[in-house]
Structure 1
Amino acid sequence: MDIRKLQRAIVDGLEDVKAQDIRVFNTSHLTELFDRVIVASGTSNRQTKALASSVREKVKEAGGEIISTEGEDIGEWVLVDCGDAIVHILQPALRQYYNLEEIWGDKPVRVKLTNTSAFGGARASEPLDADEDEEEQDDGSGAAARASKPARKTAAKRRTQNS
């Protein structure tokens, strides 16, 4: 399966169950085991389990294969191995503690996250230019990292900023 199609299916599955702070990273330069790491947050054990289930369903619908799923019994950190992409779904406290973005996040992938449409589903998009490489180019100014962040703030971020 094409990595862009796989990545889009995963992000769609996460958005369908309202995952928070979805990040996609190109890891092909770090390991040969997988090409993408996707990190997202769920607010409860129930939501993290539902997010993992949605990802599995969307990937299978797109023609992909699920290698394994780990952590669903507890639901605080669920890992879904989709072969060329690994999905980490964590509750916010664990995500902050383990800071996976620091390990895998030096090459963010531009993924357009959209609000839920009238048909009930949000969709990830391709890069803006078909000839453009899908990973951000970092010129040292930090612009690539800023560009990869979603424009909207999550409710959890607003609460912590207002506190």
Structure 2
Amino acid sequence: MNSKKLLQIVVQAADSKRAEEIVALDVQNISFLADYFVIMQATSDRQVKAIAENIEEKVQEAGLIVRDIEGKDAANWVLLDLGDVVVHIFKTETRQFYNLEKLWVDAPLVDVSEWLK
């Protein structure tokens, strides 16, 4: 499966659990870490966990491996390493504090609107 299809799975799984302000950054030309970074937020610990669990489930259903998950217990900032796609799920205030979009300002945005309900 290519990284764009994986990105679609992630965005749709997050959207189905009501993730807010989903942003996908194309980092292929500026980072060796991944092809895409996906950044989103939720208003509660419970919702952060639910989004992370749903993404993990949908990725596994697609026959792919979740390499690592960090921060799931604290649920302030959960990072899912899916290889070509790295997912950041923040509580709203934590996202504002770290402002990853500013750190990766050189990365073009990916239009994910067609995958959102």
Same-fold call, TM cutoff 0.5: yes
8 Å CA contact 1:37–1:104 kept in 2: the answer is no
1:114 partner amino acid: L
Task: Indicate the residue corresponding to 1:19 in structure 2.
Answer: 19
- The TM-score with structure 2 as length reference comes to 0.93
Paired-residue identity, %: 37
Provide the alpha-carbon RMSD of the alignment. 1.1
Secondary structure at 2:69 match in 1: strand
Cα distance in 1 for residues equivalent to 2:46 and 2:52? 10
Is 1:39 paired with 2:39? yes
1:51-84: per-residue Cα shift (whole Å, max 9, x none)?
1001111111122210010001110110011110
Task: Indicate the residue corresponding to 1:108 in structure 2.
Answer: 109
Higher relative contact order, chain-length normalized (CA < 8 Å, sep 6+) = 2
Tell me the number of residue pairs that the alignment of Structure 1 and Structure 2 aligns.
115
> 1:40: Cα distance to partner?
0.4
1:74-102: per-residue Cα shift (whole Å, max 9, x none)?
10110011110100000111101100011
8 Å CA contact 2:26–2:110 kept in 1: the answer is yes
Q: Which has the larger radius of gyration?
A: 1
Moved >3 Å (runs of 4+): none
Unpaired runs of at least 5, structure 2? none
Is 1:3 paired with 2:3? yes
- The TM-score with structure 1 as length reference comes to 0.68
